[in-house]
Amino acid sequence: MSVTSSTKSEGGLGETIRVVIHALLIALVIRTFLFQPFNIPSGSMKATLLVGDYLFVSKYSYGYSRYSFPFSPPLFSGRIFGSDPTRGDVVVFRPPNEPSVDFIKRVIGLPGDHIQMKEGLLYINDTPIKRERLSDFIGEDPCGRSEATARVKRWKETLPNGVSYESLDCVDSSGFPDNTNVYEVPPGDFFMMGDNRDNSSDSRVFGYVPLENLVGRAQMIFFSIAEGQNAWMVWRWPWSVRWNRIFKLVR
d(CA 71, CA 30): 16
User: Among the options 46, 59, 65, 105, which is catalytic?
Assistant: 105
150 phi and psi angles, rounded to 5 deg: -150, 160
State the pairing for strand pair 53-58/248-249: unpaired
Q: Is 105 a known active-site residue?
A: yes
238 and 79 in contact (C-beta within 8 Å)? Answer: no
**DSSP label at 250?**
P
Residue 214's closest CA among 91, 116, 124? 91
d(CA 115, CA 202): 13
82 phi and psi angles, rounded to 5 deg: -80, 150
Q: Is 153 a known active-site residue?
A: no
d(CA 123, CA 128): 4
Question: Which residues are part of the catalytic machinery?
Answer: 44, 105
